[in-house]
Structure 1
Amino acid sequence: MHRLFTAAAAFAALAMAAGAATAQDFRAFARQDLQAAHDELRANHPAAVVGGAAAQTFNGWIDAGLADSLAKVAQVNSGDSHAYLMRYYARGFRDSNIAMTPSFEGLSPYFAIQWPGFTTGWRGGKYVVTYIKPGVRGTPPLGAVLVDCGGKTAEQMAQDKLDRWEGDLTSEAGRINTAPFLLWNRNNPFTTGTPGACNFQVGGRGRPREFRLMPQPPLIADLEAAYRSTVYQPGPTPLGIETVNGRPWLHVHSFADTAGWDAFNAAVQAQGPALRNGFVLDLRGARGQSYTSTARGYGLANRIWTPEFTVSRQPAAGEITYRATPGNRAWYAATLGRMQADPRFVQESAPVIEETQAIVAAFDAAIASGQRSFTLAGRPATPDTGAANPIAGPVVVLVDSGCSGGCLDTLDLLTRLPNVRLAGSVTATDSIFIEQTTMRLPSNYSDLSFGHKAWTSRQRANNTPFTPQPALTYAGNPSDEAAVRAWVATLMQ
Structure 2
Amino acid sequence: MSLDWLLIGALLAAPAADAPGEAWSARLSGDLLAIDAALRDSHPGMFDARNPGFGPQLDAALAQARSRAVTVDSHAGYWWTLKGYTATFNDGHVSLNALAGAPQLATRWPGFLTGFDGDAQTVMSREESATLPPLGASLVACDGVDAQVLARQRVGDFSGRWNLQASRIHAGGEVLLDQGNPFIATPLMCTFLVQGRKMDYPLLWRPIDAAALAPRLADTRRSFRPANGMHRMRGGGYWITTSSFNADPAKSNFKELNQLLQTLAAQTGALQEAPMVVLDVRGNSGGASQWSLELARLIWGRERVDAIGDPTWVEWRASKANLAQLQAFQTKLKGSPGAAPEMLVMLDTVTAGMAQALTQGEPLWHASRPQDAASAPVAVETPARPGGNVIVLADASCGSACLDALDLWKQLGAIQVGVETSADTVYMDVRPEPLPSGLARISIPMKVFRGRTRGFNEALVPECRYAGDMRDGAALENWVLQVDAARRREARCP
- Structure-2-length-normalised TM-score: 0.83
Residue in structure 2 matched with residue 225 of structure 1 by the alignment:
215
For 1:339 and 1:481, how far apart are their aligned partners in 2? 37
Kindly indicate whether residue 255 of structure 2 is the aligned counterpart of residue 255 of structure 1.
Answer: no
Q: Give the RMSD, CA atoms, in angstroms.
A: 3.2
2:443 alignment partner, SS class? strand
- The residue correspondences of 1:50-69 to structure 2 (distance < 5 A) are 50-52=48-50, 55-56=52-53, 58-69=54-65
For 1:350 and 1:216, how far apart are their aligned partners in 2? 55
Counterpart selection for 2:93 from 87, 92, 97: 97
For 2:395 and 2:334, how far apart are their aligned partners in 1? 40
Deviation at 1:199, TM superposition (A): 0.7
Deviation at 1:395, TM superposition (A): 1.3
1:377 alignment partner, SS class? coil
Cα 1:306–1:377, aligned 2, differ >3 Å: closer, same or farther? same
Kindly indicate whether residue 182 of structure 2 is the aligned counterpart of residue 161 of structure 1.
Answer: no
Counterpart selection for 1:148 from 118, 127, 141: 141
For 1:125 and 1:83, how far apart are their aligned partners in 2? 28
Residue in structure 2 matched with residue 356 of structure 1 by the alignment:
351
Residue in structure 2 matched with residue 377 of structure 1 by the alignment:
368
Deviation at 1:453, TM superposition (A): 2.4
Residue in structure 1 matched with residue 301 of structure 2 by the alignment:
306
Amino acid at match of 1:263: Q
Kindly indicate whether residue 92 of structure 2 is the aligned counterpart of residue 85 of structure 1.
Answer: no
The percentage of counterpart residues that share the same residue type is 26
Counterpart selection for 1:176 from 166, 169, 186: 169
1:360-417 C-alpha deviation (Å, 9 max, x unpaired): 324433x2xxx66564424565124554344521111011111112111111211101
- The residue correspondences of 1:179-328 to structure 2 (distance < 5 A) are 179-193=172-186, 195-203=187-195, 205-206=196-197, 208-215=198-205, 218=208, 220=210, 222-235=212-225, 238-246=227-235, 247-257=237-247, 258=251, 259=253, 260-272=256-268, 273-274=270-271, 276-288=274-286, 290=287, 293-313=288-308, 315-318=310-313, 320-323=314-317, 328=319
1:144-183 C-alpha deviation (Å, 9 max, x unpaired): 2211111211122212210242453132211111111111
Amino acid at match of 1:302: R
Kindly indicate whether residue 476 of structure 2 is the aligned counterpart of residue 489 of structure 1.
Answer: no
Cα 1:147–1:339, aligned 2, differ >3 Å: closer, same or farther? closer
For 2:424 and 2:59, how far apart are their aligned partners in 1? 23
CA contact (8 A) 2:315 2:448 kept: yes
Amino acid at match of 2:482: T
CA contact (8 A) 1:314 1:413 kept: no
1:163-206 C-alpha deviation (Å, 9 max, x unpaired): 2424531322111111111112223333334x332111223x45
For 2:204 and 2:369, how far apart are their aligned partners in 1? 58
More divergent stretch after superposition (213-222 vs 112-121) = 213-222
Cα 1:55–1:143, aligned 2, differ >3 Å: closer, same or farther? farther
Deviation at 1:271, TM superposition (A): 5.0
Cα 1:2–1:278, aligned 2, differ >3 Å: closer, same or farther? closer
Counterpart selection for 2:411 from 407, 412, 416: 416
Residue in structure 1 matched with residue 43 of structure 2 by the alignment:
45
Amino acid at match of 1:446: A
CA contact (8 A) 2:83 2:96 kept: yes
1:230 alignment partner, SS class? helix
CA contact (8 A) 1:277 1:392 kept: yes
For 1:178 and 1:446, how far apart are their aligned partners in 2? 20
Deviation at 1:334, TM superposition (A): 6.7
For 1:314 and 1:132, how far apart are their aligned partners in 2? 51
For 1:249 and 1:36, how far apart are their aligned partners in 2? 46
Deviation at 1:264, TM superposition (A): 2.0
Which structure 2 segments of 5+ residues have no match?
1-7, 486-494
Residue in structure 2 matched with residue 35 of structure 1 by the alignment:
33
For 1:339 and 1:466, how far apart are their aligned partners in 2? 32
For 1:209 and 1:76, how far apart are their aligned partners in 2? 37
For 1:338 and 1:182, how far apart are their aligned partners in 2? 38
Residue in structure 1 matched with residue 323 of structure 2 by the alignment:
332
For 2:154 and 2:340, how far apart are their aligned partners in 1? 52
Which structure 1 segments of 5+ residues have no match?
none
Cα 1:84–1:337, aligned 2, differ >3 Å: closer, same or farther? closer
CA contact (8 A) 2:430 2:444 kept: yes
Deviation at 1:91, TM superposition (A): 1.9
Deviation at 1:96, TM superposition (A): 1.7
1:249 alignment partner, SS class? strand
Kindly indicate whether residue 437 of structure 2 is the aligned counterpart of residue 447 of structure 1.
Answer: no
1:492 alignment partner, SS class? helix
For 2:129 and 2:209, how far apart are their aligned partners in 1? 14
1:88-137 C-alpha deviation (Å, 9 max, x unpaired): 211211122212322226799xx86221222111122121222333x222
